[in-house]
Chains A and B, each alone.
Chain A
């Protein structure tokens, strides 16, 4: 009896409605893409495209996993794009083309991002500034510093570290493995640790969490540190791919808004407390597959953005409908 209850419990929770929808949508888009490309005379699911999709999504995916944590706790982080630029520069400068520089560089990137996350979290919790403004302000500060110090790519990443960006094991790029590792770690954190439970609690209702003895400020700060570290890891990955650090790599990729879009596309509530990593992974893959289809069809880039916008809005509208209908019963 207990056994059965527990299995049904984990099953029910693993595939919640929204997550299911996003994966169904993903399969749908893959099929449509396959048909469209086939009609166009191409072959959609080649090794090349599969690898391409994974590589394209890896950096965004890692940022989006961090963003998922921030949004679940009821916050959000607009500073990730500039932080990615900053950490790519920190990494490349410290490595300076030497293998011996890799470890110190990674350590420095983690430290810098943790520090930025700490600042974000403290500004939000101690100064009571809304996360939108707090992280926007921190983003501008980072931008100012980076723009002052650099006007183009700088530093150099050794050959061995660049393999992070391009090597693959069979059809799976190393960068995708890194993304998977980050995602699994975050998923595990949310499902099996007290911090994870409390992230949901604070995001669900901060006052309820506080009155249940959760030190809500600490949870928010810790979540922002983790979110920023994810952005730092993405910075490392992009530095590896570029072979250098670049002051615009984060903003060119639009990682701030795009990561938020991927998270809500994956069914996580923007207000927090509901959703999770599997949905976000689906959201990121969906965006990457769309990208890939449009690239193969050589569609106008502006039209591509229009479709992405429609998809994101439509997805959130579908989730909203479901919630409304459930509530009205």
Chain B
């Protein structure tokens, strides 16, 4: 890709960007949200066409008017939000739009055998070609996306934040998949916020900032600090805000809590404390949050200040939850920042007045435009709106489920600061995260979930290995 430029409605989002990737190479593309990564990839995938510049594949200049043309030229893109039909089978999804035909009819046998062959080549045995996609885990669905790309004979595969929704052990599987793709001579463009993955997987890395190319470098020649500096354009210094020193009285305690998924939950969170919750996907982390929040309540055990039977009770008792999936459960995307930020306070309090400007400033929403529809905000800003929503009612306990998923480095640091600030002001905070460095950097204590139970409690600053061993249920060496 050479000299790519693109503007939307007069706003320049890309200018003079060059990018090349060789067969069998994994090339990482990093940059903050809004740096133009996605736009660049969408140009490659034929979703947008560039205003300036050219795209060449194997030395032949191409221009795509439609994603399908890009697919035919061997470019496949795997979006963060999967393009799969939950109600159709794996094979039907893999061949969507390209169903093989024999004598005018869809050749189902060919679809099934081809999909099965690809599954075997990838060494994937946890599901079969006729399973409905709805029944698959997120990691498995990602494999389906990769199958889809392979069945199109893709030679260039773009992966947009492939690990954003994966738990740690699933990331390992993804690494293996990417290695297989590389062996097949496929060029992989790997977009990620997680620098560790960049160094683990990629041979080269390209940094974008504000729509322009900052640098392309071999990963061997660059350190992660340098990379962060290039992305953000400033030194982030210590990545995490310093821990608090004082914890006050216990704000939340659960004794022997359980429901259909959870069992024997004992925990306490105090004023000023950030309690980290680790665990693999499916370990009951999110369910724990939902139980405390009254969305899928505990049916056994005791909890103080009270064991909520509904969300409304929990909110009234001063418990808030920043959901894992902010788009589906945290925000009304088509409504304004104001409406979203005031949602909780309107439903709980009567006649309470909040200064919206002050509120938006307190969560450092930039720019603080209350009338904007939240769907136009970046991931980081959306998360700040969710946070604002809770701050209005000043909860005593605030639970964060994956607070920085899909959020860029700058906004991530801002959210971490905000969380620490809330704790300092006396809030008790629980934080669920799949990202171990974040969890370890932020938490004052960490509980590790496994199979719906608490597998262990760790003091501040454990090693990643310790947490993983507990989470995976292996004996610590």
Contacts and interface: CB of A to CB of B under 8 A. Distances in A.
A293 to B, nearest CB: 34
A12 interface: yes
A205 B108 CA distance: 21
> In this complex, which of A198, A212, A214 has the most chain B Cβ atoms within 10 angstroms of its Cβ?
A212
Contact of A200 (B87, B98, B130): B87
Contact of A193 (B71, B105, B116): B105
B83 interface: yes
Interface residues of A, number: 29
Interface stretch (A2-10, A20-28, A225-233, A305-313): A2-10
Contacts of A198: 97
Nearest to B72: A213
A182 interface: no
B22 interface: no
Interface residues of B, number: 32
A298 B97 CA distance: 52
Interface in B85-112: 85-89, 92, 96-99, 101, 104-106, 108-109, 112
A240 B47 CA distance: 52
A209 interface: yes
A208 B67 CA distance: 11
Contact of A209 (B97, B108, B112, B116): B97
Contacts of A209: 85, 96-97
Main secondary structure of the interface of A (DSSP, over half): helix
B324 to A, nearest CB: 15
Contacts of A39: none
A192 B104 CA distance: 9
B112 A211 contact: no
A192 B105 contact: yes
Contacts of B92: 197, 200
A197 B84 contact: no
A274 B133 CA distance: 13
A193 B106 contact: yes
Contacts of A5: 112, 116, 128-130
Given A200-B87, A204-B87, A214-B97, 15 more contacts: A5-B116, A6-B108, A9-B112, A192-B105, A192-B106, A193-B104, A193-B105, A196-B106, A197-B96, A200-B92, A207-B83, A211-B47, A212-B98, A213-B67, A213-B71
14 contacts: A6-B109, A12-B130, A13-B130, A192-B105, A194-B99, A196-B106, A200-B88, A201-B88, A208-B84, A211-B47, A211-B83, A212-B98, A213-B67, A326-B134
Interface of B: 47, 66-68, 71, 83-89, 92, 96-99, 101, 104-106, 108-109, 112-113, 116, 128-130, 134, 148, 296
